[in-house]
Amino acid sequence: MRSKCLEVEKVAKHYSRDGTFIHALEEVTFHAHQKEFICIVGPSGCGKSTLLKIIAGLDKPTKGEVRFQGEPICEPHPKISMIFQSFALFPWRTVLQNVEFGLEMRGVPKTERRKIAEELIELVGLKGYENAYPKDLSGGMKQRVGIARALAVDPEIVLMDEAFSAIDEFTAQVLRSEVLELWEETEKTFILVTHNLTEALEMADRILVLSARPAKLKHIYNVNLKRPRNRSEPKFLKCQKELFNLLKSELEHTIVRHKLKAIHEHYKIEDMEA
């Protein structure tokens, strides 16, 4: 077995927002190995992104801890980088300057970081766009810049928060296979949060299925499909059905919960969940 790279140990999170107590995560435990591709799926608003933020060191768990190579994470770790749903490119920086950002913050000298950034821009297929500004790029191209920026700092873990959700399906499809290629060529661990089950099945070694809020780790689904995976293959469809059934009851929970919420908001009843 490959070495454990990331250990998420009994991580719980609650916070209050606008005076409402929110229980986002409840004792989530899992380990990720080197060069593993993990997807985290769950009903919307269940706390998947909160979990990812905790791993990134952007948020602190209320209980439990996250360890990277045995060391507890309490702030962002230089070997963990992140790709965002909103791309989060700085509009005042060119493609090149955006890719350089992480290296710049690390104090890498200008000529060296330029060289690394140019290599990565070529790797993600944006050669010729070094001096373009994000506003002139399509969504898919923006996310390529986001990927290049995340890889520029040579991370061991790449976190992706719904990285393909804001891109049109055709482009997302191309981007997914490119990310898989990148992943296969390196030793990096990828963790992708998504609500797209097909996407999860296509990319992941293991899929963590979270329950409705407070999110518990309901199931770890091992994807035993040969790569590259084919969406129309009967085996793939069978897995998709299994995964969907695992999530279905959770989805129903959320629907009921949303309905209740709507009802008590309508009648201005005190919080029924509390």
Partner 1 sequence: MAFTSNLRKIVKSKNSQTKPDNKFSAENWLFIIPLTILFVGWELTLRLNLTLVDKLPLPSEILSVLFFNLLYNPEFILSVFKSLANLMAGIFLASLIAIPMAIVAGLKNKMDSSLTPLIMIVGALPDVALLPFFVYWFGRGAAAAIIMATVVAFFPLFFTVREGVKNIPKDYFHVAYVYKAKKIDVYTKLVLPAIYPQLITGIRLAYEFLWEIVLAIEIIASISGIGFIINFAVEEGSLAYAFAGIFMIGIIAILIDRLIFNRLEEKIKRWHE
Does position 141 interact with partner 1 (CB under 8 A)? The reply is: yes
Q: How far apart are CA 132 and CA 165, in angstroms?
A: 23
Nearest residue to 144 (alpha-carbon basis) of 179, 115, 173, 114? 179
Residue 74 interacts with partner 1 (CB under 8 A)?
no
Closer by beta carbon to partner 1, 91 or else 234: 91
Calculate helix-pair angle for 169-185, 139-152, nearest 10 degrees: 20
Stretch that binds partner 1, among 4-12, 24-32, 135-143, 217-225 (CB under 8 A): 135-143
Rounded to a whole number of angstroms, the minimum distance from the CB of residue 168 to partner 1 is 5
Is position 69 an interface residue for partner 1 (rule: CB under 8 A)?
Answer: no
Q: By CB under 8 A, tell whether 78 contacts partner 1.
A: yes
Q: Which of 34, 101, 183, 257 binds partner 1 (CB under 8 A)?
A: 101
Residue with tokens 């661990």: 189
Instruction: Give the total of residues touching partner 1 (CB under 8 A).
Output: 39
> Which helix (DSSP H) or strand (DSSP E) does residue 6 occupy?
strand 4-17
Piece in contact with partner 1 (CB under 8 A), picked from 117-125, 130-138, 175-183, 195-203? 130-138
Nearer to partner 1 among residue 166 and residue 246 (C-beta) = 166
Q: Which of 138, 177, 222, 230 binds partner 1 (CB under 8 A)?
A: 138
**Edge-to-edge strands, sheet with 4-17:** 20-33, 4-17, 63-68, 71-72
Q: Is 252 in the site for partner 1 (CB under 8 A)?
A: no
Q: 30 pairs with which residues across the strands?
A: 8
Q: How far apart are CA 81 and CA 150, in angstroms?
A: 5
Among 25, 46, 137, 191, binds partner 1 (CB under 8 A): 137
CB-CB neighbours of 121 under 10 Å: 24
Give the span between the Cα atoms of 71 and 73, in whole angstroms. Answer: 6
**Three-state DSSP class for residue 249:** helix
- Decide: is 60 part of the binding site for partner 1 (CB under 8 A): no
Is residue 106 a contact residue for partner 1 (CB under 8 A)?
yes
CB atoms within 10 A of CB 90: 12
Contacting residues toward partner 1, per CB under 8 A: 53, 56-58, 75-76, 78, 80-82, 84, 86, 88, 90-93, 101-102, 104-106, 129, 131-138, 140-141, 149, 153, 168-171
